[in-house]
Amino acid sequence: MAFYNNDETAARISKVQAMLEGSGLDAALIYYDILNIANGWYITGWCPQFESGFVLIPKAGDALVLGGCESAEFAKMDSGVKEILTFSAFMQPGLEFFNFEMHDFRKLQQRLQKQGAGLKKIGIVGMDIMPAGILRKVEAEMEDCTLADITADYELFRLTKSKWEIDMMLKAAGICDEGYAAMAKAIRPGASDMEIAAEAESACLRGGANGFGFKTIVAPGERINGIITTTSGNAMQAGEMAMLGLSPRYYGYSGAIGDTLPVSGEYTAEQRDLMNRIREAFRLTRGKLGPGKPIRVADEAGMDYLRKCGWGDQLVCQFVHSTGLNECEGVYYLNPDSSMEMRPGMTVMIDVSLFGIPKLHGGRVETGYVITETGHMPLSPKADAMFSEEIG
């Protein structure tokens, strides 16, 4: 099944080409691999299983996928960019494929020059995450070519979502609701954390998820302190809490939920007090979401409350972050150190968490929102309603 949208792909390529024209660049090379999926997926709606590669967007003309041989037929089927050039540099080491025309970056440059599109100035997206060997090949083989890091400018395109993107995120959030319900139902003393994760992921896949933004988190007891702890196979114990995290993707776009539930079905008085205070911090943070405000305004509201509760030393990271093709997009422009203001069409996660609390260990709640003209809209009305309530 293909996960791209032709209109979205065309519009995004046009945005990149306008940026290239304005910057005096001849083309963009957008790096991708299975761990760094979002920038390539933004154009193609696709990523290979094993190989890395580039999406090449010239300032005029059609985009190309530069990948390995295993990528070629797969990309023709499922990528929004259909013209593929195969490069040995992007193949898995030790593998050999037959009957493919192989390229290097020198041959690519010569090919484009024959088409009247020589490359003298290239913008690189993902320069800081690509393997050094690939960057050295580009520098050595693309003679007399200047390279510029345009990652920050490119990622700005991903911050504000189109209606189609928001629709995909709403669908992902609905799938997330199904997975969370299956997860919560399965929690009980003696059940393994892997069993709980399997129930959640199975429900998400049946609901249409095409993958996950992170490995499913089921962290009982002291494993809560691992922050993003994955499953261990251990059985959960009566009386402890289990921290949950789930992030199904739909058409590549991530939903997410985080919560911390009692293994026995009922919180102790101490656990209930902790989780109600976390929910209050969540609500204070949510109340500050809206256009024209920097992220730090929302972060400070919830964090100041938890500091007053005596848990300042247990605060580990910011509460609000951008979301989209990744559960945490990590785009520099939208974080507590940035002066950029939230604006309509941006999507964010509120992830309120505490870790390292003696005996209780900690807790988390998380769900997502769209910034609107007048405030914010929940991606998951169910999660929003749940975290709006006190635990009785």
Q: Does the pLDDT at position 381 exceed 70?
A: yes
Residues 132 and 173 in one domain: no
d(CA 345, CA 160): 5
Provide the 8-state DSSP code for 383. H
pLDDT at 333 over 70: no
Q: What is the overall mean pLDDT for the chain?
A: 94
Task: Please check the confidence at residue 95 and state whether its pLDDT lies above 70.
Answer: no
pLDDT confidence of residue 104: 87
> Do the domain assignments include residue 87?
yes
304 falls within a domain? yes
Residue 163's contacts (CB-CB under 8 Å, 6 or more residues apart) are none
The pLDDT score that the predictor gives to residue 378 is 98
Q: Would 1 be classed as within a structural domain?
A: no
* Structure tokens given for 100: 């493919």
* 118 and 229 part of one domain: no
Residues 76 and 215 in one domain: no
Last residue of a domain, one of 158, 192, 227: 158
Strand, coil or helix: 25: coil
Q: Is 266 a domain residue?
A: yes
- 26 and 57, same domain (yes or no): yes
Total domain count for the chain? Answer: 2
**360: Cβ contacts below 8 Å, ≥ 6 apart:** 241, 270, 271, 274
> Looking at residue 204, which CATH number applies to its domain?
3.90.230.10
Instruction: Tell me the two tokens of residue 328.
Output: 């945490």
User: Which pLDDT score is estimated for 40?
Assistant: 97
Residue 245: phi, psi to the nearest 5? -150, 130
Please state the rounded mean pLDDT for residues 177-206.
Answer: 97
- The tens digit of pLDDT for each residue in 52-75 reads 999 999 999 999 999 998 889 999
Residue 257 resides in a domain? yes
Query: What's the pLDDT score for residue 179?
Result: 98
For 236-257, letters b (16+ CB in 10 Å) and e give beeebbbbbbbbbbbbbbbbbb
Give DSSP secondary structure letters for 55-124.
Answer: EEEESSS--EEEE-HHHHHHHHHH-S---EEEEGGGSPTT---SS--EE-HHHHHHHHHHTT---SEEEE
193 part of a folded domain: yes
- Please tell me the distance from the alpha carbon of residue 330 to that of residue 254, in angstroms, as a whole number: 13
Q: Are residues 171 and 300 in the same domain?
A: yes
Last residue of a domain, one of 158, 191, 223: 158
Same domain, 178 and 234: yes
Closest CA to 259 of 348, 352, 193: 352
* Domain match, 13 and 123 both: yes
Pair (132, 191) in one structural domain: no
Q: Are 78 and 133 in the same domain?
A: yes
Specify the CATH number for the domain of residue 119. 3.40.350.10
How far apart are the C-alpha atoms of 319 and 189, rounded to whole Å?
30
Q: Please answer whether residues 225 and 241 qualify as being in contact, where contact means their C-beta atoms are separated by less than 8 angstroms.
A: no
Same structural domain, 68 and 202: no
pLDDT tens digits for 215-238?
Answer: 999 999 999 999 999 999 999 999
Q: Which residues contact 25 (CB under 8 A, 6 or more apart)?
A: 19, 59, 121, 122, 123, 148, 150
**Are 175 and 152 in a shared domain?**
no
Name the residue range of residue 30's domain. 6-158
Instruction: Give the other-Cβ count within 10 Å of 190's Cβ.
Output: 10
Distance of CA 278 to the CA centre of its chain: 24
Q: Which of 158, 190, 207 is the last residue of a domain?
A: 158
Q: What is the predicted pLDDT for the residue at 94?
A: 64
- Is 80 exceeded by the pLDDT of residue 307? yes
Whether residue 331 has pLDDT greater than 80: no
Mean pLDDT of 318-329: 93
| 171/152 same-domain check | no
Higher pLDDT, 329 or 343: 343
At 355-372, the pLDDT tens digits run 999 999 999 999 999 999
Confidence of residue 384 (pLDDT cuts 50, 70, 90): very high
Q: Contact 27/20 with Cβ under 8 angstroms?
A: yes
**CB contact at 8 A, 178 and 201:** no
Lowest-pLDDT range of 62-71, 92-101, 117-126: 92-101
